[in-house]
Structure 1
Amino acid sequence: MHSAYRITLALLGGVMLASAHAQMQASMPPSTQHAASPADTRQNVDFPPMLKQKTLATMRMHLQGLAEIQQALAEHRFDAAAQIATMKLGMSSMHGDQMTEEARYMPPGMRHLGAQLHQQAGEFAVAAQDAAVTGDSAKPLLALSRMTQTCVACHATYRLH
């Protein structure tokens, strides 16, 4: 197995674990959240309950997109990986009013990381389309790693409350 691919698998596994942990924490009663995670120093971001649920669903869609991209890359389906990135993580994945509403509640750093992720998805799509011609997966794997790192940075810093 190519070492860059193994690294990407490890990074995605970490994001999936962090997302699962965050989802578990979000569903726990407040009294048990602190007992389960006393060292959680992430910044709470207060969202109205319905918007929080929609935002978490969008984040799960992004995570599913990362998993689908990884599968497509493993199968050398670079055009499919580019399309997935565009539809599930790129600017096309934004949900109009929801995006505007979310931005009202996000601290500037969180907004920056979100915008960065969507921009990186576009960069990944270009790298994957190039790989469809060249067969070289190094650039899309690096771009996927950058997207994953952005997800990790956001989830390590912020917590929807």
Structure 2
Amino acid sequence: MRKKLQIIAPIVLVATSNLLTADEDPRRLVELPEMMQQHMMSNMRDHLVAINEILINLANEQPDQAAEIAESQLGMSSLESHGASHMARLMPEGMRQAGTSMHRAASRFSLKAQEGDLLSTYKALSEVTSACVACHTGYRIR
């Protein structure tokens, strides 16, 4: 039962957050300069594409390709290409921690995928997406 709640609770939070107006939205508003806001949104869309590519590669039994995508596009070695140092100084501490958690989880996922154990690989991927859910549940940008 607890496992089901761990899976379902974030989904319910994200789904119901779409029903709120901006004034009712309980997430912390993070105001960014327009250029930085667009940069962050672009990075998040790139992250979503990377997660999709990872899933496609796992479904096609290509864990090494999934590992490469995870590390190069989401992992710790991707920080420079995403301009993370410029973005981090504009984020509240909790948002910055969630982002760092996601990047570290992606690097751990990459290592697990290379080991070839499917169950631990998917568990590691869920740690990546859990960091995304945590950030999107707690913060919004404008």
TM-score, normalization: structure 2?
0.82
Tell me what 1:99 maps to. Answer: 84
Tell me what 2:127 maps to. Answer: 146
Note the residue ranges of structure 2 that are not aligned, 5 or more in a row.
none
Deviation of 1:95 after TM superposition, in Å, equals 3.2
Tell me what 1:4 maps to. Answer: none
- Which SS does the other structure have where 1:95 is aligned? coil
**1:158 partner amino acid:** Y
Size of the alignment, in residue pairs?
Answer: 130
Tell me the distance in 1 between the aligned counterparts of 2:79 and 2:104.
Answer: 12
Tell me what 2:51 maps to. Answer: 66
Tell me the distance in 2 between the aligned counterparts of 1:121 and 1:129.
Answer: 12
**1:140 partner amino acid:** T
Tell me the distance in 2 between the aligned counterparts of 1:94 and 1:56.
Answer: 15
Select 2:71's aligned residue among 50, 73, 86. 86
Tell me the distance in 1 between the aligned counterparts of 2:23 and 2:46.
Answer: 28
Tell me what 1:156 maps to. Answer: 137
Deviation of 1:38 after TM superposition, in Å, equals 5.1
For the aligned residues, what is the CA RMSD?
2.3
Tell me what 1:30 maps to. Answer: none
- Which SS does the other structure have where 2:29 is aligned? strand
Q: Percent identity?
A: 38
Contact 1:43 1:157 in 2 (8 A): yes
Structure number with higher helix proportion: 1
- Which SS does the other structure have where 1:159 is aligned? strand
